[in-house]
Amino acid sequence: MHPLAAIQTEYSLWTRDPEAEILPLVRKLGIGFVAYSPLGRGFLTGQIQSIEQFGRDDFRASNPRFANGNLEENLRIVEAVDAVAKDVGATPAQVALAWLLAQGEDIVPIPGTKRVARLEENAAAVGITLSPDQLARLSAIKPPVGDRYADMSRVGR
């Protein structure tokens, strides 16, 4: 046997599933947590407003959280993040990352990006301190409509 140093799974204001069982377990065992897709596949940046923005090869076009009218309903999440972003003078992406960083020192987000400017924007999230009220407002956001993936049969195993 070999001890685990860290696990990696999706976690963000867009996907809170790990909070129920995974986070308490890894904390009990002293295992680090690497959060992938901390910006909800780009959704939490506030840049996605319509499914028509996706290219033909973009898997998000068929992702249940973006498809069949769910995107429009889920925009309430971005609106809540954007409201806090305006309060603190940051971007929605920075607020989403700052919220994730505030969930514990054992959580390390790994946002993906194609642009240096976005990398710098994301890195600046470490300098944002959200108030207890702002954290509570963000944590109170209701989950998105739609599954994480079209086929959820392998998720959570």
Give residue-wise pLDDT tens across range 86-121.
999 999 999 999 999 999 999 999 998 889 999 999
Q: Write phi, then psi, for 33 (nearest 5 degrees).
A: -125, 120
| pLDDT category of residue 149 using cuts at 50, 70 and 90 | low
Asked which of 38-47, 98-107, 142-151 is least confident by mean pLDDT, the reply is 142-151
> What are the residue boundaries of the structural domains of the chain, listed by start?
6-139
> Where is mean pLDDT largest: 45-59, 78-92, 137-151?
78-92
Q: What is the pLDDT of residue 152?
A: 52
According to DSSP, the residues that pair with 33 across neighbouring strands are 7, 107
* Side-chain half-sphere CA neighbours of 30 within 13 A: 1
Amino acid at 109: P
Under CATH, which number does the domain 6-139 receive?
3.20.20.100
User: Percentage of residues in the chain with pLDDT exceeding 70?
Assistant: 94
* Residues whose CB is less than 8 angstroms from the CB of residue 119 and which lie 6 or more positions away in sequence, other chains included: 113
Q: Is residue 57 pLDDT above 70, yes or no? A: yes
Q: Is residue 27 pLDDT above 80, yes or no? A: yes
